[in-house]
Chains A and B, each alone.
Chain A
Amino acid sequence: MTDIPATDDAVLRVTDLRTHFPVRSRGVFPKTIGQVKAVDGVSLSVAPGETLGLVGESGCGKSTTGRTVLRLIAPTSGTIELDGTDITRMSAKQLVPLRRKAQMIFQDPYNALNPRHTVGTIIGAPFEVQSVSPPGGVRAAVQDLMARVGLNPEHYNRYPSEFSGGQRQRIGIARAVALRPKIIVCDEPVSALDVSIQAQIMNLLKDLQDDFGVAYLFVAHDLSVVRQISHRVAVMYLGHIVELAPRDSLYSKPLHPYTHALLSAVPLPDPRAQANREQIRLSGDLPSPINPPSGCVFHTRCFRAEDRCKAEVPELRELLPGHTVACHFPMFDLEVGTVIRGPQGEVSELDAPEVRPPSEVIADVVESGGLARATGVDYVTGPDATPPD
């Protein structure tokens, strides 16, 4: 795959990665009767200090990709290079020293911390496991980290159950950055938190990236969250990357019909614009990854699908600078070189749906009186002046 913008010093490079899970029959002597193709030929690379967003709907294999590149799940085929070292077939023992370079932040801060360990033990575990003795001792290093991620260092001896969700996520982040890894796989790190906390955690992640130069593989389903933090974004569908592009290019000129549909599903802040705009509703369910469709995996739900899509697997190709898409009929007029908007192939001047943090949106709507008009309640001057969720 030559189309992937790759720098030679990529901290993570994944080539044609496949992760298949066997489906076994029940009984005393189980037989493998099929494969769940969770990840089916994914190639990507992450440069030092870069954030690559990985989006897609539930079950598209984005989390599995994240876990496979850390070798938490065994890959079926393909190669994973971490900081120039091929780790695809390494044994668990060989991997141990390399684990320092790649860490993970988990989705559920309630599950990701051992409830029977104190915060000090949890954040200090990487030092202990990797036999790293930081200058000044582990305790000092841990308390430094706690302060760095916005926790009170005096809470060293507390248990995770004594913290709120956002604070627990900070503990998980402190643990992940403890050994100054080169890349952190963030598996939906904010989707379990409420919106105000989400913003804090996103800012913390950005700050840490600025300070330590750590790269993120940022797995999420929330397009606005991914837009905030990513330099480049990859869109996954049924185990395949269908589009990979620099952030602004992807959000303003989505080329794959699937990306287009995803973006059109993001609600607009302005109720009138929301009512007037054309939304693309995908019909049908996500096909089974045990038995994926032939050709382009998206053809069963695609509004632009033609016969060719059922037969031929589309390759990723670069249509705009750094913007690659795997589609036979992208939303792009190849002859004129313009981006097509809308399912009927018309070229319109309408801008791509704007995605902004919800706090801004609420502020805007409240300011313009939109909310008051819409609901008949004046939230700005009302008794508690709090906009509803």
Chain B
Amino acid sequence: MSLTVVEAPSGAGDPVLGRSLRQIVWARVRRDRVAMTCLVILIGLYLVAILAPAICAVIGVDPYSFDSASISDMGGGPVGPWGGISREHPLGVEWGTGRDIFAQLLFGLRISLLIATSATIITVVIGTVIGIVSGYSGGKTDAVFGRIMDLTLAFPFLLIILALSGVLTQRLTSLGVPEGNPSRITYMILVLSVFGWPYLARIVRGQVFSLREREFVEAAVAMGASKSRILFVEILPNLWAPILVYATLTLPTYIGTEAALSFLGIGVLPPDTSFGAMLASSVSYFSVVPSYLFIPGVLLVTLVVTFNLVGDAVRDALDPRAGRR
């Protein structure tokens, strides 16, 4: 796995530092040109999302203001070719309101990434902790967590989210989350995490099952290590590979799921928007202004594909038997 040459104990005096997992993975990813390109794109997209207000201000667009000059008086269609692409509106305007699509895209990206990233972090934390505890404890604890996982996985996910969205969003508001879109966004994050963690927990549990039989765990017990040390100092570092891979592959799924849920109407409400909401509103005008559908569509595909490619590269880099080079 390592590429460093091991010297004899009496070897020369220059201190050769061992490389940590992070260094090894980074060195391998860096040599993968596709992965590096995707990583740059991803970092760029995150930066754009974070800096969206500033970018919009510089270009002179904003996602909320109506521009009646850019739409026709009759039918509200955008004036000009390709959905009203002009100097004022780089990607055209929205049908009926004349709001700028470029600005909406940036703010939609912001919300999509916020939801997917938060949900992924929560999923990973819950899944990892429950997976480790369940796998290491075994017995009754494992059985209880196992049944909870089964139950969660057996739930008709989509139906429940759709049915409960109204009630639970209100409940969140009454718990102190600001009304409106903040509550709806929180609801989406919670729903994605609550239904997402069992998959990771299963993977982690299986890994822990085999890790806990390894003798280094026994050695830790023999030296008197506490259970939390064994779980989080001895075992957890051996789980980064599956966790990282799962996270990088889950995030794009969540972006897609968020888009689908917004499309179905439980996402953010206007004037805010997300990819799903934009796709949903563009469908009615597809035959007249196809660019309105394609622009968010292309960005969504880019986001999901780059995330997947980076995830694949990380998995390859983490797997010593990948058989590369």
Chain A interfacial positions (CB closer than 8 Å to B): 67, 70, 72, 95-97, 99-100, 102-104, 106-108, 111-119, 125-126, 129-130, 150-152, 154-155, 157-159, 161-164, 167, 172, 175, 179
B256-289 near A? 1/0 per residue, CB < 8 Å: 0000000000000000000000000000000000
Residues of A with C-beta under 8 A to B229: 129
- Contacts A114-B237, A125-B220 known; list 11 others, CB within 8 Å: A70-B222, A99-B223, A107-B215, A108-B215, A126-B223, A129-B226, A130-B224, A151-B9, A154-B13, A159-B19, A161-B2
Number of A-B contacts (CB under 8 A): 93
Instruction: Find chain B residues with CB under 8 A from A100 CB.
Output: 224
Which A residues lie within 8 Å of B163 (CB)? none
Q: Flag if A125 contacts B222 (CB, 8 Å).
A: no
* Contacts A95-B224, A103-B223, A129-B225 given; does A72 touch B237 at CB 8 Å: no
Q: Please, how many angstroms separate the alpha-carbon atoms of A70 and B223 in the complex?
A: 10
Residues of chain A lying within 8 A (CB to CB) of residue B17: 157-158
Interface string of B201-221 (1 = CB under 8 A from A): 000000000000011101111
Verify A157–B215 contact, CB threshold 8 A: no
CB distance from A162 to the nearest CB of B (A): 5
Q: How big is the B interface, by class?
A: 20 to 34
CB < 8 Å neighbour of B221 from A72, A119, A159: A72
| Segment 223-239 of B: residues with Cβ below 8 Å from A | 223-226, 229, 234, 237-238
Given contacts A114-B237, A158-B18, contact A106 B2 (CB under 8 A): no
Interface residues in B1-17 by Cβ distance below 8 A to A read 1-2, 4, 6-7, 9-11, 13, 15-17
Q: What is the bound-complex CA distance between A103 and B224, given in angstroms? A: 10
B237 CB contact (under 8 Å) in A111, A112, A116, A152: A116
Partner of A111, one of B2, B214, B221, B240: B214
Provided the pairs A152-B10, A162-B18 are in contact, do residues A114 and B216 lie with their beta carbons within 8 angstroms? yes
Hey, which chain A residues are within 8 Å of B20, CB to CB? 118, 159
What's the Cα separation between A104 and B218 when bound, in Å? 9
Partner of A157, one of B11, B18, B21, B216: B18
Q: Whose C-beta in chain A lies nearest to the C-beta of B241? A: A116
The interface residues of chain B lying within 8 Å CB-to-CB of A119 are 18
Q: Which 5 A-B pairs have the closest CB atoms?
A: A158-B18, A99-B224, A116-B237, A96-B224, A112-B215
B9 with A159: CB separation less than 8 A? no
Binding site for A on B (CB under 8 A): 1-2, 4, 6-7, 9-11, 13, 15-21, 214-216, 218-226, 229, 234, 237-238, 240
CA distance A376 to B1 in the complex (A): 42
Q: Across the interface, name the chain B residue whose C-beta is closest to A70.
A: B222
Whether B224 and A97, one on each chain, are in contact in the complex, defined by CB atoms closer than 8 angstroms, is yes
Q: Cα distance A126–B221 when bound, in Å?
A: 10
**Interface pairs (12), CB distance under 8 Å:** A72-B221, A96-B224, A104-B219, A104-B222, A108-B215, A114-B238, A116-B21, A116-B238, A151-B9, A157-B17, A161-B2, A162-B2
Give the Cβ gap from A104 to chain B, nearest Cβ, in Å: 5
Residues of chain A within 8 A of B1, CB atoms compared: 161
B9-A150 in contact (CB<8A): yes
A117/B237 in contact, CB under 8 A? yes
Task: Tell me the complex Cα distance, A179–B224, Å.
Answer: 12
* CB proximity of B93 to chain A, nearest CB, Å: 53
CB <8 Å contact, A112 and B216: yes
Write the nearest CB–CB distance from B209 to chain A, whole angstroms: 15
Residues of B within 8 A of A130 (CB): 223-224
Query: How far in angstroms is the closest Cβ of chain B from A15?
Result: 22
Could you tell me the distance in whole angstroms from the C-beta of A19 to the nearest C-beta in chain B? 15
Pick from A99, A158, A163, A175 the residue with the most CB of B within 10 Å.
Answer: A158
**Contact A175-B219, Cβ < 8 Å, known A114-B238, A159-B2, A164-B6:** yes
Tell me the nearest residue of chain B to A170, going by C-beta: B9
Q: Smallest Cβ distance from B116 to chain A, in angstroms?
A: 28
User: B225: which A residues are within 8 A, CB to CB?
Assistant: 125, 129
B contact residues around A163 at 8 Å (CB): 6
Contact among B6, B7, B10, B234 with A114 in the assembled complex (CB-CB below 8 Å) = B234
